Amino acid sequence: MSNGPLSDLHAAVLEAATTLADAPPRSSPTLERPKQADFGDLSTNAAMLLAPLLKASPRDVAGRLGDELSGRLGEQLTRVEVAGPGFLNLFLGDAWFVEALRHVIDAGPEWGGGGATAVEKVDVEFVSANPTGPMHIGHARNAAYGDALSRILAFHGHEVEREFYVNDFGSQVRRFAESIRARRLGEEIPEGGYQGDYVKELVGLDDGEISLDEVGRRAVDEMVARTKASLAHFRVSTDVWFSERSLHPEKVEHAFSVLEAQGNTYRHEGALWCRTTDFGDDKDRVLVRSTGEHTYFASDIAYHQDKRERGFDRLVDVWGADHHGYIQRMKAAYAALGGDPETLELLIMQFVNLPKGKMSKRAGNIVTLDDLVEEIGVDATRWYLLQRSHDTTIELDLDLASRKTAENPVYYVQYAHARIQAVLDKAGRTQADAGFADRSLPLESGERALIMKLLAFPAEVAEASDRRAPHRIATYALELAQEFTAFYRDCRVVGSEVEDFRVALSITAQRTIARALDLLGVDAPHSM
RNA sequence: GCGCCCGUAGCUCAGUGGAUAGAGCGCUUGCCUCCGGAGCAAGAGGUCGUUGGUUCGACUCCAACCGGGCGCGCCA
């Protein structure tokens, strides 16, 4: 399907280029908004790609391409211009912009969505914080990212399942229980135990009569309940809560048999090993220790085998930066199971640094997700954590982020949305009035720029989805808000001769801002 | 030692082959009889870590090096 006027235009450029060269160019030509206004509305590098094929100078090819394109597009194209090393700059007519806006209006609130060419069933596993402590700032970033990515993938047209893996099995749960019991009895916390104040809050779960196993179960249940509440408050939803304990013993044994059937396990020094080195790992990994205990890795393999059998086209795991060394072995193990490692994406969230000291789970003074939300609010927290690429470490300046003023771009974007509402209220219009009569007067540059920005939305969504990059949406939302504000400054809406047109433009801008914010899980208020 | 991520304006960071490298914050100077001033306009501020290479063209791709972060368990 068409992603709108821009992709139609891009297709026209590609066709014209293909006609000229009798073959498509090696790489797809660009069609972008140039930085300078006098370079036209859009610019393509097609001629420079074609020049080697035609054995002609790029500027010469650009001239021929311009003629070809003018013939195809007629009055939509006011004029073309060859520039620089061989760019072809396109100057589009008002009629093109008016039709383009009509297309956006007709698309309604779904504008920008559904563009995925190959729809995939995707599992997104994120946060998966250990149920032995509260979620900290790193989990907050992971949660915001995984949630926004899920929203974006779904909006783009994929079928998404969101999943949280609960590590409710193994030695850490026992240590957790031991820590609680020790706390209850006033004894010293055991080596490698848990010390935070939250442990003290849990001593009531242990009446002294029940087994340590039971203490562990109750404590984990309580921590999971708290995690669910924190995430819900952070506007993060989860479809599946997958218990590690539920893997034992059947699913783990099943995974072992799958590996064994592929000939990828062996026994050595009393332990059971997985031959991950055959699949790119730098050493083989233990599945069952010589003591008979399963490793964490055994659980993870069983978990991924289970996901495999649930029939996804793609598995996405969002992990913390301290797990990056785990990627190679996990992919290797997935291949050893017979899976296609290309369909297993292991994404790493880089750290969030606090100006003073770093977060440490077992230290007493940690900044939790709940603290963050209480301090600076859901909207600002999500925006702050999502505005940067997941593979760069970010600094969190609590003072700055918490100021509800101009320093934080999220309020600027929300303000633009609220301001549009004020304009619509003043005009006595609603979202239902999006349609408009034909526009006769020439368009102002602010109108053209805003329409062009709206048209860019589907490509931004596609980019954010394909590259797992929610921060692109944040950047886009800010730019769109700026573009609307410029339009608002220069073009009177209420009472203008072209009020219908400008109301329609305002409505589409408001919808698109609201959609972009929603993809980030940020509210779009009608007033502030 | 090996591996992953990062190095772009004073600060925090966008920019995965195109023209004169951008935004927010901070700083300077203007703007409130005019649809919301949580705003707008203008300005100062850069050897895109370094050195080579590929290319008509490199912040972008490749190599080496320098600097920072994080990992390299029969822990989870």
**Average pLDDT for A386-408:** 79
Residue with tokens 């692109």: A472
DSSP H helices in A377-492 = 378-386, 398-402, 409-427, 445-455, 457-466, 471-490
Q: How confident is the model at residue A281 (pLDDT cuts 50, 70, 90)?
A: very high
Q: What is the DSSP string of A242-288?
A: EESGGGTTHHHHHHHHHHHHTT-EEEETTEEEE-GGGGT-SS-EEEE
Could you give the CA distance from residue A255 to residue A304 in angstroms, rounded to a whole number? 9
- Answer yes or no: are the C-beta atoms of A155 and A461 closer than 8 Å: yes
3-state SS, residue A39: helix
Query: Would you say the C-alpha torsion A137, A139, A145, A150 has a positive or negative sign?
Result: negative
Q: How far apart are CA A381 and CA A322, in angstroms?
A: 22
- Return the H-helix or E-strand segment holding A513: helix A499-519
Alpha-carbon dihedral angle through residues A303, A307, A310, A315, given to the nearest 10 degrees: 180
Query: Is pLDDT above 90 for A363?
Result: no
User: How many other C-beta atoms can be found within 10 angstroms of the C-beta atom of residue A442?
Assistant: 8
As a whole number, mean pLDDT of residues A51-63 equals: 91
Q: How far is the CA of A406 from the C1' of B45 (A)?
A: 21
Q: Which nucleotide is nearest to A271 (CA to C1')?
A: B74
Residues 6+ apart with CB under 8 A from A271: A286, A287, A288, A289, A290
Over residues A360-386, mean pLDDT: 81
In this model, does residue A357 exceed pLDDT 50?
A: no
Q: Return the pLDDT at A407.
A: 65
A389 in Cβ contact with A141 (< 8 Å): no
Q: Where are the beta strands (DSSP E) in A59-130?
A: 77-83, 87-92, 121-125
For residue A109, CA distances in Å to A256, A434, A486 come to 48, 11, 23
Give the nearest nucleotide to A42, CA to C1'.
B19
Which residues 459 to 478 of A reach strand B, CB within 7 A? 467, 469, 471-472, 475, 478
pLDDT at A402: 62
Gap from A452 CA to B27 C1', in Å? 33
> Where does the pLDDT of residue A23 fall: very low under 50, low under 70, confident under 90, or very high at 90 and above?
confident
The closest nt to A419, taking CA to C1', is B36
- Given a contact cutoff of 8 angstroms between Cβ atoms, the answer to whether A361 and A139 are in contact is no
Instruction: Kindly give, in sequence order, each residue whose CB lies less than 8 Å from that of residue A56, ignoring residues fewer than 6 positions away.
Output: none
Contacting residues 373-412/A vs strand B (CB within 7 A): 387-389, 391-395, 397, 400, 404-409, 411-412
Residue nearest to nucleotide B69 (CA to C1'): A393
Q: Is the CB of A340 under 7 A from strand B?
A: no
For the domain made up of A5-92, give the CATH fold.
Answer: Gyrase A; domain 2 (3.30.1360)
- A428-458 per-position pLDDT tens digit: 999 988 887 678 889 999 999 999 999 999 9
Closest by CA to A404, choosing from A418, A414, A419, A417, is: A414
Residue with CA nearest B14 C1'?
Answer: A475
Q: What pLDDT sits at residue A384?
A: 93
Sort residue A314 into left (φ over 0), alpha (ψ -120 to 50) or beta: beta
Is the CB of A485 less than 7 A from some atom of nucleic acid strand B? Answer: yes
* C-beta of residue A72 within 8 angstroms of C-beta of residue A10: no
Measured distance CA(A37)–CA(A445) in Å, rounded: 10
Q: Which of A91, A102, A105 is nearest to A39 (CA)?
A: A91
Q: Can you give the distance from the CA of residue A365 to the C1' of nucleotide B66 in angstroms?
A: 35
Residue A372 host element (H or E): helix A369-376
Nucleotide nearest A495, from its CA to each C1': B35
| A31 touches A49 (CB < 8 A) | no
Q: Is A328 helix (H, G, I), strand (E, B) or coil?
A: helix
Indicate the DSSP class of residue A428: T
Share of chain A above pLDDT 70, in %: 96
Structure tokens at A486: 């410029």
User: CA A523 → C1' B76, Å?
Assistant: 37
> Strand B: which bases are under 7 Å from protein Cβ?
2-7, 11-16, 18-26, 35-36, 38-41, 56-57, 68-76
pLDDT confidence of residue A406: 57
Distance (Å) from CA A489 to C1' B32?
A: 14
**Is it the case that residue A331 has pLDDT exceeding 80?**
yes
Q: Who wins on pLDDT, A397 or A54?
A: A54
Of A50-54, A142-146, A236-240, least confident by mean pLDDT is A50-54
Question: Has residue A268 got a pLDDT over 60?
Answer: yes
Would you call A104 exposed, middle or buried from its count of C-beta atoms within 10 A (0-12, 13-18, 19+)? buried
Residue A277 has pLDDT above 90, yes or no: yes
**For the segment 309-328 of chain A, residues whose CB is within 7 A of strand B:** 321-326, 328
Q: Where are the domains of chain A?
A: 5-92, 404-519
CB-strand contact A35/B, under 7 Å: yes
- Whether the per-residue pLDDT at A364 is higher than 60: the answer is no
| pLDDT of A282 strictly over 80 | yes
Separation in Å: B61 C1' and A323 CA: 28
- The answer to whether strand B lies under 7 Å from the CB of residue A333 is no
The hierarchical CATH code for the domain A404-519 is 1.10.730.10
Nearest nucleotide, CA A35 to C1': B19
Output the pLDDT for position A362.
36
Residue-wise pLDDT tens digits, A498-519: 999 999 999 999 999 999 999 9
Among chain A residues 130 through 149, which have CB within 7 angstroms of nucleic chain B?
130
What are the two backbone dihedrals, phi and then psi, of residue A85, each rounded to the nearest 5 degrees? Answer: -70, -5
Q: Please give the nucleotide, over all strands, whose C1' is closest to the CA of residue A396.
A: B12
Q: What is the mean pLDDT of chain A?
A: 92
Distance, in Å, from the CA atom of A416 to the CA atom of A197, rounded to the nearest integer, reads 43
Question: Residue A53's pLDDT band (boundaries 50, 70, 90)?
Answer: confident
Residue A321, CA distances (Å) to A142, A167, A367, A393 in order: 10, 18, 18, 9
- 3-class DSSP assignment, residue A59: helix
Using pLDDT thresholds of 50, 70 and 90, give the confidence band for residue A401. Answer: low
pLDDT, tens digit (0-9, with 9 covering 90-100), for A148-174: 999 999 999 999 999 999 999 999 999
> A237 CA, B63 C1': separation in Å?
45
More confident site: A401 or A472: A472
- Cβ atoms of A284 and A273 closer than 8 Å: yes
Taking the C-alpha atoms of residue A205 and residue A214, their distance in angstroms, rounded to an integer, is: 9
Mean per-residue pLDDT, A4-24: 91
- A499 conformational bin, left if phi > 0, alpha if psi -120 to 50, beta if neither: alpha
Question: Could you identify the residue whose CA is nearest to the C1' atom of nucleotide B19?
Answer: A84
